[in-house]
Structure 1
Amino acid sequence: MNMPDAPLTQDLVLVGGGHAHALVLRKWGMNPLPGARLTVINPGPTAPYTGMLPGHVAGHYSRDTLEIDLVRLCRFAGARLILAHATDIDRTARLITVEGQGPVAYDVASIDIGITASMSIPGFDEHAVGAKPLDVYAQRWRDFVAAAKDGSAEPTVAVIGGGVAGCELALAMSHALRQAGVEPNVTVIEAGLQISGVGDMARRKLLSVMAQAGITLRTDARVTGIEATQVLFDGQEAVAAALTVGAAGAFPHGWLSKTDLPLIDGFIETTPDLSIKGDPSVFAAGDCAAMPFAPRPKAGVFAVRAAPVLHHNLRAALTGGPRKTFKPQNHYLKLISLGGKSAMAEKFGVAFSGTLLWRWKDRIDRAFMDKLDHLPQMKPTKVPEVAALGTREMLQDKPLCGGCGAKVGGALLSDALSTLDTRANPQVVTGVGDDAAIIKLPGGRFQVLSTDHLRAMVHDPVQMTRIAAVHALGDIWAMGARPQVALSSLILPRMSPPLQARTLREITDTARAVFDAAGATLVGGHTTMGAELTIGFTVTGTRDTMPITIAGAQPGDVLLLTRPIGSGVMMAAHMQGIARGRDVAKTLTMMEQPQSQHADILRDAHAMTDVTGFGLAGHVLAMCKASGLHATLTHANIPIYEGARALSDAGVASSLLQANRENAPMAGIDDPLLHDPQTAGGLLAALPQAAAEIALKRLQDKGLQGWIIGSLQSGPPVVTLA
């Protein structure tokens, strides 16, 4: 007898995607703790690796090489990822406040949010950028290089802070600007009398390399203000700077000081097991933590070394087991980039430099990133030696997708519904075959009724609820109706009562917010426990005149689409752990967006539907059959989610793809993405050319998108892709 999945009983929340947490996620994915639900809160889908930042700034590494893909890492670890800033922690209620959504509950939490280099200098926030957070600085730097290259910005740079980080970045920026074909003017500004953070031998080598690169060192300098084109000083001449970078020391994130966390100079005070002083359920690691039991400088090497201890102690906190003590090394090797592909190494006061050291540093950095990028392949589902006919073949197929990729094929569904007869009820205007049933109300008004549910594609109940609600509302919007009432239908994985309460609160609050914004009322629903999270809604809407159907398209109409396609292949790749995190995050963000404004603009369309499980081709064909028309789609005009084309060309596909292709054959170009099942897909409207152009303008005026992707003509109901 197979053992059932362990019920969820404890919530572990990791705040921040720093190096220690990234390594914890990797180890967690290789050996998850039964009963623990893991959540990661981070503002972005990626986290830059500190060690490769100077190389990226110098132009030696691409953006992808530099970034830890937290989306893939969280998928591997089975963790939900909330892309938002944490702003507070209530240790009494065990709640973490998250920007843009409700609080997240925890039983055990860990904080690894790094530091910031933002400085309290007049004009800094307006005209400068801190070297940390790294992702913000890296983007600002890429934009500056492009501007310097095309002549729209002077190649003048000032770096505030003459420590290792400041000198390293100055050398990298000087090198990159020269590689871009411009002559740089870089100044390092140090408040002290000399470069700090290194010994005498390393300092002499750094000064020599900086002089060769033409970098000016300004010491004993007190910055009094920063303007758009210069840095101002007390008693010294201003320094020209079209870009000013703050790299003077490590500053804690401001929100920490507003909490009751124990702090030392703004950093979270930890004990030898990495939990915070006085609270064994909260941990901290990396640069945001202070270790009074073993004071050390802010360096990524300590976060990496702390990761195994942190992982062990988090599991111990969740299981009641014994904890380990973190004992950081007293001395560590410093490897400092020197702009070009050369580096300097320092330890015990001795320093060496050269290209061989760059290669060594490069090998160390790439090995670290490879560990987080090339994740171990987990064992596939074991296929039984003896099973009923057909079982082995189905188990060897690709995993079942979530969302609309898990739907039953269109042909099977049509056959199953073919026996339904709504003619006996005079109130039912249309039933099977359109987006929603249409019911005639007293007084000549109409009500539409639809239901949808989705097998979870992501681990976050909040994000999944938003997508499911928008998806369910799509049928109402597609018929030009105004949303009225919603009922939920939920299946929760087996979990303890406290986790049930937390999850239901998150789902209910999120659903209510989506439906309230759409003008509908969430009035209740039904909840059970089962094998996996499934979220669905039954929704009604009203319209004073006959709702829009798929049967009203006319010859000469054009087809207007409000959302890209490719979400099915993107989610399939995400479930396999091969999609880029940034692409997945962008796709999910689009899928969460309501389409009520789109629907209002298109409410006079001749025909309309929403593109969902049967793919663009299937929905266009359904409109053609209902309207008795032929469709010609313009391949180049069809919008596609970023990254979806490359994945499709590589053979990635949703589990529903083949059924969709068989259900809606097309003439012309063969493109699997036209059959890709969409979840919370765009509205597809048929309307006259002039009306479509007006609709596009109205969409653009509201900051929304739309594309004219084809046209309808008299002829047999066939879809041609040209």
Structure 2
Amino acid sequence: MQDSPNYQDLVLIGGGHAHALTLMMWAMKPLPGVRVTLISPQVQTPYSGMLPGLIAGHYSYDETHIDLTRLCAAVGARFIVSSATGIDSEARQIALDGHPPIGFDLLSIDTGATPAHQLPGSEHAIPVKPISRFYPHWQALRQQIREEHRAFDLAVVGAGAGGCEIAMAMAHALQDGLHSGRVNIHLVSRSKNVPEGYPLMARKLAARELRRLGIRVHAPWDVAAINDDGLTSSSGATLALDAVFLCTQAAAPAWLSGTGLALDEAGFVRVDETLRSSHERIFAAGDVAAFSPRTLPKAGVYAVRQAPFLFHNLRATLLGKPLKKFRPQRDFLSMLACGDKRAVATRNGFALAGPHMWRWKNHIDQQFMQRFRELRPMVESEETKPGLWRRENAPERVDSRGGESFHGMRCNGCGAKVGADALQRALAGVPAQESEHLLTGIGDDAAVLQVPPGKLLVQSSDQLRQLVRDPWIFARIATLHALSDLFAMHATPASAQLLATMPLAAGRLTERDLALVMDGVVMELNRHGSVLSGGHTSEGTEFQLGLTVNGFADAEQLVAKRGVAPGELLILTKPLGVGAVFAAEGFGEAKGRWLQAAQDNMLLSNGPAAEILFRAGSSALTDVTGFGLLGHLLEMLAENNAGRDAQHTRALGAELWSEPLPLLPGAASCAENSWLSSLHPHNALAYEQVNNAARWAALPHWALLADPQTAGGLLASVPEASADQCIAELKSAGYSHAAIIGKVMLKREKPVTLADYRL
């Protein structure tokens, strides 16, 4: 439920250290009326201090990454999984890759740097950053080295702190190969000082650690080109290699050049002492920022120390209060990880090395990450209660900076409609639509459709509360969820009417959200040959979308929910677990990658699957949604089973097999920890219709039989002779989890029997 209306959009581009900490601080001290949005292409962002430990094998992937989905849930922030491609500072819009633009009132950038591809042939190398791309390459290489008993030569190009740490981490992970002489690791530096930028004492200690680990240092060695066989220096020398890893100086994101912001000579965003860019409503921090007062190294420690100042200055800008100046230290403690739980610590020219330094470093890193592991979804606090929505925080105070008035008294009935101007502007950006059936649509009092001769009109309605915080994604999911009822009947979509309840907000914010909703709805309707013919918008305490969808079908084309016959096989096109995964999110326990997998699953249309199942001779078809797999299966087996003779009507049951039953990533963990949907207890009443519950009682599949699905898959009964070909076609069409999960049988004392997998 919404406690206070939103009137300002604060948008953060990038999930770097400064933004992650800013969000954590925002969770502890939110500002009522400010809607926060994070934009990042990754759902997990790496903590740079622990990446060498990940490569060495000391930490798991989750231990070294901040889960941005959980972090945003703790803040109550929207999370847009995408990459920024441009900023229109005048229109206050951010262009995104594969997503409609996002509007902002205040903006901060912390995307980090990008791999620099300055060396000829760099496409033959593997950049160490971003780690999400590097790590799978590293895992595959380790496996290859274990399996192929031959010599391997690997090189890390770039001998700054990062390059040295990566080389030593690799050496520890491959120590068996190094000790046997089968694996050689090379560290290539254009400078004679290794690691670059470090004082003499630290360099000597680092050199000792590199020798101890058997790493061959080539310094100075200026790389002129990279090819399939290795490296070539500017002097013509060559180094034969099996793999090259780039840890050279990173570059600024190319899209910044078109933003109109002041940039330094390398393309990074110039910021002043308050971290504000040349535009008064745009800030930047971390590696993407070029600190104007003096040049700072691209080191994570500065991003961490900038976070409190960024947090304060973003709030101060919104409230019209003075900004604080960031005063970076001239020197700071640097901890260089040395592969096998040793480290070199240096500050003010002094350095120490050994396992005790690594334990110190590990303690610091674990403390940093623990703050993010302990976060839970935002709950109502004294500061965020509706009663604290005071006049002094109202947007009238920021009109001079682009704010907007918000009237606290909201109407009900027809007065609760979204304003006509905001609605018209949102509709203006809707993608073009064409329909041979729609005679009168948006803009008139009602839609008029021409039903083709001989066709039947098939109609269904569905409504969802907001499931994901991205309005565009939510609109697409809601549309596909509604269309699934047409697909389950094997009808062709023709039109839809939208009922949108928008959360209370200033008109500008409502307009932004409506534009995203309309774009998402029309995108999915267009994909399926359908059009948006009208609808209704209103304001309410929570975001909800409902659609009434219309389709056409020939009588012989329709596939009913009931009509199964003994001997037919049951096919499920999508995995189970949507309800459980989002329940886990509510408990603050869901991993970002689980939620992303569930979202991708919901965005997979059932349209093509319905056509494949129809061609396979499906005798009964339904979509698996709110009642869960078991509830919808019982509907298919109900005694008023249409289309079958009387002797089968009261005798149908089904056998379900656990082994092939597809589950979403994380769904089993959710079930085992009882992170289940609030609808689950109601759905669980269907367990009374199962013959032998004890067979599956210890399996997560048991709980997930009653898990409600949003935009779930299709459940079909098909002849056994066509089942294998049907599965092959489904997988080819993108339904990678499609599976035969059981068989229609003659009924025992109860309709459903749990059995061993014996297809």
TM-score scaled by length of structure 1: 0.89
1:116, 1:130 within 8 Å by CA — same for their partners in 2? no
Distance 1:566 1:4 in 2: 27
Contact in 1 for aligned 2:566/2:744 (Cα 8 Å): yes
Residues 456 and 553, structure 2, Cα contact 8 Å, conserved in 1: yes
Quote the Cα distance in structure 2 between the aligned partners of 1:118 and 1:185.
Answer: 25
Which stretch of structure 1 is more off in the superposition, 29-38 or 48-57?
A: 29-38
Q: Partner of 1:446 in structure 2? A: 456
Gaps of 5+ in 1: 383-438
Query: Partner amino acid for 2:498?
Result: S
TM-aligned CA deviation for residue 4 of structure 1: 7.2
The aligned counterpart of 1:314 is 314
Q: In 2 relative to 1, CA 685–39 (structure 1 residues): closer, same or farther, beyond 3 Å?
A: same
Which of 55, 58, 63 does residue 53 from structure 2 map onto?
A: 55
CA distance in 2, matches of 1:594, 1:319: 44
Task: Name the SS for the 1:276 alignment partner.
Answer: coil
In structure 2, the residue corresponding to 1:341 is in which secondary structure? Answer: coil
Match of 1:72 in 2: 70
Contact map agreement 1:144 1:153 (CA 8 A) in 2: no
Match of 1:712 in 2: 744
How far off is 1:365 after superposition? 0.3
Q: Distance in 2 between matches of 1:446 and 1:72?
A: 46
For residue 639 of structure 1, what is the aligned residue in structure 2?
A: 662
Residue identity matched to 2:751? V
1:687 alignment partner in structure 2: 718
Residue 568 of structure 1 deviates from its aligned partner by 0.3
CA distance in 1, matches of 2:377, 2:564: 49
- Alignment match, 2:576: 565
1:656-667 alignment, distance < 5 Å: 656-663=679-686, 665=688, 666-667=690-691
Residue identity opposite 1:272 in structure 2: E
Contact kept? 1:559, 1:687, Cα under 8 Å: yes
Q: Following TM superposition, by how much is the alpha carbon of 1:317 offset from its aligned partner in structure 2, in angstroms? A: 1.8
2:577 and 2:732 map into 1 onto residues whose CA distance is 26
Tell me if structure 1 keeps the 8 A contact 2:377–2:588: no
CA contact (8 A) 1:270 1:289 kept: yes
Partner of 2:733: 702
Correspondence for 2:518: 508
The equivalent residue for 1:651 is 674
Q: Is the 8 A contact 2:15 2:110 kept in 1?
A: yes
Aligned to 1:275: 276
- 1:612 partnered with 2:613: no
Q: Tell me which amino acid in the other structure corresponds to 1:653.
A: L
- RMSD between superposed Cα atoms in Å: 2.0
* Deviation per residue, 1:537-579 (Å, 9 max, x gap): 1101111134211121111111111000011000111122111
Q: Is the 8 A contact 1:115 1:133 kept in 2?
A: no
Contact 1:116 1:132 in 2 (8 A): yes
Q: How does 1:395-410 map to 2 (within 5 A)?
A: none
CA contact (8 A) 1:119 1:246 kept: no
**CA pair 4-487 structure 1, distance change in 2 beyond 3 A:** closer
Map 1:28-47 → 2, pairs under 5 A? 28-47=26-45
Residues 441 and 209 of structure 1: CA distance in aligned 2, closer, same or farther (over 3 Å) = closer
Structure 1 CA distance for aligned equivalents of residues 542 and 121 of structure 2: 52
Q: CA deviation at 1:140?
A: 2.1
Q: Which residue in the other structure is 2:754 paired with?
A: 721
Name the residue aligned to 2:486.
476
Distance 2:135 2:256 in 1: 24
Q: Deviations over 1:355-405 (max 9, x none)?
A: 1110000000000000111116766799xxxxxxxxxxxxxxxxxxxxxxx
Aligned-residue offset at 1:720: 1.7
How far does residue 192 in structure 1 lie from its aligned partner after superposition? 2.1
Instruction: Check 1:148–1:615 CA distance in 2 against 1; reply closer, same or farther (3 A cut).
Output: same
In 2: Cα distance, 1:555 partner to 1:47 partner: 51
Which residue, 124, 140, 144 being the options, matches 1:143? 140
- CA distance in 2 between counterparts of 1:220 and 1:317 reads 48
Q: Cα offset for 1:157? A: 1.3
Structure 2 CA distance for partners of 1:55 and 1:560, relative to 1, 3 Å? same
Per the alignment, in what secondary structure is the counterpart of residue 504 of structure 1?
A: helix
Distance 2:509 2:593 in 1: 30
**How many residues in Structure 1 have an aligned counterpart in Structure 2?**
662
Taking the aligned partners of 2:521 and 2:450, their CA distance within structure 1 comes to 28
Q: 1:483 to 1:199 in 2, by over 3 A?
A: same
Q: Deviations over 1:614-646 (max 9, x none)?
A: 000000000000423201111111100011111
Query: Is this contact kept in 2: 1:567–1:679, CA < 8 A?
Result: yes
Q: For 1:27, what is the secondary structure of its paired residue?
A: helix
Name 1:158's counterpart in structure 2.
Answer: 155
Where in structure 2 are the equivalents of 1:543-558 lying within 5 Å?
543-546=553-556, 547-558=558-569
Q: Which amino acid aligns with 1:698?
A: E
What SS does structure 2 have at the residue aligned with 1:280? Answer: coil
Q: 1:249 maps to which residue?
A: 249
Structure 1 equivalent of residue 591 of structure 2: 580
**Letter in structure 2 aligned against 1:197:** G
CA contact (8 A) 2:493 2:529 kept: yes
What letter matches 2:691 in structure 1? A
| Secondary structure of the structure 2 residue equivalent to 1:512 | helix
Deviation of 1:464 (Å): 0.8
In structure 2, C-alpha distance between the alignment counterparts of 1:11 and 1:108, rounded to whole Å: 6
Cα distance in 2 for partners of 1:667, 1:48 equals 48
Q: Deviations over 1:129-154 (max 9, x none)?
A: 22222322223222221222211885
The answer (yes or no) to whether the contact 1:294–1:328 under 8 Å persists in 2 is no
Per mean C-alpha deviation after superposition, the further-off stretch among 318-327 and 56-65 is 318-327
TM-score (norm 2): 0.84
The amino acid across from 1:660 in the alignment is: N
Q: Choose from 595, 598, 614 the match for 2:609.
A: 598
Shift of 1:201: 0.8
Is the Cα contact below 8 Å between 1:344 and 1:353 reproduced in 2? yes
Pairing 1:92-107 to 2, within 5 Å after superposition: 92-107=90-105
**Is the CA contact (8 Å cut-off) linking 1:155 and 1:177 kept in structure 2?**
no
Map 1:406-555 to 2 at 5 A. Answer: 443-546=453-556, 547-555=558-566
Decide whether aligned partners of structure 1 residues 567 and 179 sit closer, same or farther in structure 2, where only a CA change above 3 A counts: farther
- Please report how far the alpha carbon of residue 442 of structure 1 lies from its aligned counterpart in structure 2 after TM superposition: 8.0
Separation in structure 2 between the aligned mates of residue 380 and residue 12 of structure 1, nearest angstrom: 20
Q: Which amino acid aligns with 2:612?
A: I
